[in-house]
Amino acid sequence: MKVFLRSFVVICSIVGLPLQAQTLSTVGFNLKATVISVGDGDTISIELQNGKRVTIRLACIDAPETAQSPWGKASSLRLKQLLPVGQPILERSIETDRYGRTVAEIFIGSQSINLQMVQEGQAVVYKKYLNNCNQMQQQYLDAEVFARQQKLGFWNQTNPQMPWDYRHGN
């Protein structure tokens, strides 16, 4: 896995894909949030500095459902690697979804975890909600094109079923 990630970083630098947001304003961030758990490839629980626990739905991406084997489990596992319990994060809240979850972009330093999941093929761009991530829209789209071309993760299948289509069918 380490060799794959090193290769991925090299490839991204060669083709010009950003591995992090180019500019990052800390306005609107909860600077002392920590990860409590990872639910699946696009949902986590965090604890804010005031002790409040919040469920976060990662903004602008959609990960395969856990039942979309093996892609959903792989996505969840990768997010657990990126965001282990106790990991300090920066969180930029965007909105609250219909399930009461906070929809947010998650960063470690200036590294967008949402974007990284797309770059690695562990999630897809949720175009329906991409306007919520207006500062990074093109980065998300470019990352997905790269992951598709390289057949990374979710894109390493003949006819991938989008997570939203999978949910609609079930």
* Active-site amino acid positions: 57, 65, 101
Max distance between CA atoms of the chain, in angstroms, equals 47
Identify whether the C-beta of residue 29 lies closer than 8 Å to the C-beta of residue 88.
no
Identify whether the C-beta of residue 34 lies closer than 8 Å to the C-beta of residue 84.
no
Token representation of residue 152: 């990374």
Q: Give the C-alpha separation, 71 to 156, whole Å.
A: 9
Q: Give the C-alpha separation, 125 to 129, whole Å.
A: 9
Burial 50-70 (b: 16+ CB within 10 A, else e): eeeebbbbbbbbbbbbeebee
